[in-house]
Structure 1
């Protein structure tokens, strides 16, 4: 059995502006850095074997700040947990999405939810196989974590995946299983000084509409 605690990266300016990021490489803002440090300090209450990350800079910096709090080396990168590709919708805010891509309109270049799940989950299972019995922190993105949830608990509707939130999984016999959505550690890791929950992860708030 391997434990995987999936952490969503800290806030960016595009999160604050409610713009769709996807694969666009937007760095953390100061709020996001504070969120990462707070999450790392709480994760430090227990032992971890390694910190890993999506290659995008907002995830890498979050992971680096967490690793520093845990006293671990900088993150190893995993391409398979990179964010969903939102194609031509990237960089747009909600109003612009509604204007350019009315409901039912295909978004050129957008990765489907199934395609996201088909790369994210095997990447996590393979990571667990390579590091059997370890406890790992994996910093990723809202769309990628949503894909993992859809496989671990198919048909279950979970809430918003907020910046800096923690979602715990186990891989047992090659199967990804959810321990806790919004692991209890999250409620301490996101406080009044790290940004309003209602303003975080604009894409996640409307994920169903952006399918």
Structure 2
């Protein structure tokens, strides 16, 4: 069985503009964000999707609906929204300035940024460190995050519309795309910066294995 996922990062939101962490919290798409969605919708207008999924956040659902409205093929799937595909939950750091949040997470280890944590300890540790720094410890650690996301992919692959050769639209989030790239990118993808809003990455599921063939609109060799 082979399935190709078209992973699209949602359009720019106000929290993106203001450099705030935005996991389960939400903010509206900006005018640039609406433009992001329209542009990627035009780019993918000729792709026949057998299924379409997003998280249940308004930024992801709105992006998905704009893309689907621009599709010109002979089949229009209904959008399925699952909480499993939400962005990482940042606990009490939701809505906080990103740079300050990652400084707090890395400070006990002598690190000052998300990139430094990734370089010294890996992407998984960014989640564990932020949960430890959260006074309420509500933020998701790595195991909690992947249990939720893996369940989402299991549900998706059980969709009767997702058969061999299917193409699936999946509206995703910045840190989730980095997490997927860390797990399935075969060390070929930079993990320092989130992909652009409205960018397209392609993830293939084949023979029960996942691998990226492009990321952030760039082909992977």
Band of TM-score, shorter chain: 0.7 to 0.9
Residues 144-155 of structure 1: pairs in structure 2 closer than 5 A: 144-153=176-185, 155=187
Contact 1:63 1:74 in 2 (8 A): no
Gaps of at least 5 residues in structure 1 are 186-211
Q: What is the CA-CA distance between 1:144 and the residue it aligns to?
A: 1.7
**Equivalent residue for 1:83, pick from 87, 102, 121:** 87
CA-atom RMSD, angstroms? Answer: 2.4
* Segment drifting more, 128-137 vs 49-58: 128-137
* Runs of 4+ displaced beyond 6 Å: none
Q: Normalising by structure 1, what TM-score?
A: 0.77
* C-alpha distance in structure 2 between counterparts of 1:182 and 1:102, whole Å: 26
Q: Normalising by structure 2, what TM-score?
A: 0.74
Q: Secondary structure at the match of 1:70?
A: coil
* C-alpha distance in structure 1 between counterparts of 2:211 and 2:105, whole Å: 35
* C-alpha distance in structure 1 between counterparts of 2:70 and 2:19, whole Å: 29
Higher Cα Rg: structure 1 or 2? Answer: 2
Corresponding position: 1:109 with 2:109: no
Q: What is the CA-CA distance between 1:171 and the residue it aligns to?
A: 0.9
Deviations 1:83-108 (A, max 9, x none): 10011111111465378666236223
Contact 1:48 1:136 in 2 (8 A): yes
Residues 26-105 of structure 1: pairs in structure 2 closer than 5 A: 26-71=27-72, 72-94=76-98, 96-97=100-101, 103-104=107-108
Q: What is the CA-CA distance between 1:73 and the residue it aligns to?
A: 4.7
Corresponding position: 1:183 with 2:217: yes
Gaps of at least 5 residues in structure 2 are 109-131
Q: Secondary structure at the match of 2:196?
A: coil
* C-alpha distance in structure 1 between counterparts of 2:185 and 2:106, whole Å: 30
